[in-house]
A and B are shown apart, each in its own frame.
Chain A
Amino acid sequence: MRFSALRVIKEALTGHKGWQPLWRNPDPQPAYDFVIVGGGGHGLATAYYLSTTFRKARIAVLEKGWLGQGNIGRNTTIIRSNYLLPGNQPFYEFSMKLWEGLEQAFNFNAMVSQRGIVNLFHSDGQRDAYRRRGNAVLLSGADAELLDRDQLRAMIPFLNFDNTRFPIKGGLSQRRAGTARHDGVAWGYARGADLAGVDLIQNCEVTGFRIAQGRVLGVETSRGYIGAGKVGVAVAGMTSQVMAKAGLRLPIESHVLQAFVSEGLKPVIPGVITFGAGHFYISQSDKGGLVFGGDIDGYNSYAQRGNLAVIEDVAEGGMALMPMIGRARLLRIWGGIMDMSMDGSPIIDRTPVEGLYLNAGWCYGGFKATPASGYAFAHLLATDTPHDTARAFRLDRFAKGHVIDEKGAGAQPNLH
Chain B
Amino acid sequence: MLIPHPLLGPRDAVEFTYLGDASLLARPDGLAEGADAAFHDYVYLRDNPAGVHRELWYHEQGDRSWLVVTRNTVTHEILGAELARDVALAMRGAK
Interface residues in chain A, defined as those with a beta carbon under 8 Å from any beta carbon in chain B? 238, 240-241, 244, 249-254, 298-303, 307, 309, 342, 398-399, 411-414
Asked whether any CB of chain A lies closer than 8 Å to the CB of B79, the reply is no
Contact of A300 among B14, B40, B55 (CB under 8 A): B55
Q: B interface, how many residues as a size bin? A: 20 to 34
Q: Interface on chain B toward A: helix, strand, loop, or mixed SS? A: mixed
Asked whether any CB of chain A lies closer than 8 Å to the CB of B43, the reply is yes
Residue pair B13, A307 in contact (C-beta under 8 Å) = yes
The 6 closest A-B pairs by CB, nearest first: A240-B48, A251-B44, A398-B44, A302-B50, A309-B14, A249-B45
Q: Interface on chain A toward B: helix, strand, loop, or mixed SS? A: mixed
Q: What is the CB-to-nearest-CB distance from A258 to chain B, in angstroms, rounded to a whole number? A: 14
Interface residues in chain B, defined as those with a beta carbon under 8 Å from any beta carbon in chain A? 1, 12-14, 18-21, 36-37, 40-41, 43-50, 53, 55, 71, 73-76
Q: A399-B40, A414-B20 are in contact. Are A250 and B46 (CB under 8 A)?
A: yes
Residue pair B18, A298 in contact (C-beta under 8 Å) = yes
Which residues from chain A contact B53 at a C-beta distance below 8 Å?
A: 300
A244 CA to B12 CA in the complex, in Å? 33
Sampled A-B contacts (29; CB under 8 Å): A240-B49, A241-B48, A244-B47, A249-B41, A249-B45, A249-B47, A250-B45, A251-B45, A251-B46, A252-B48, A253-B20, A253-B46, A254-B50, A299-B13, A299-B18, A299-B71, A300-B20, A300-B21, A300-B48, A300-B55, A303-B74, A309-B12, A309-B14, A399-B40, A399-B44, A411-B43, A411-B44, A412-B19, A414-B18
Which residues from chain A contact B13 at a C-beta distance below 8 Å?
A: 299, 307, 309
Task: Tell me the nearest residue of chain A to B17, going by C-beta.
Answer: A298
Residue pair B40, A249 in contact (C-beta under 8 Å) = no
A414 CA to B56 CA in the complex, in Å? 13
Residue pair A250, B48 in contact (C-beta under 8 Å) = yes
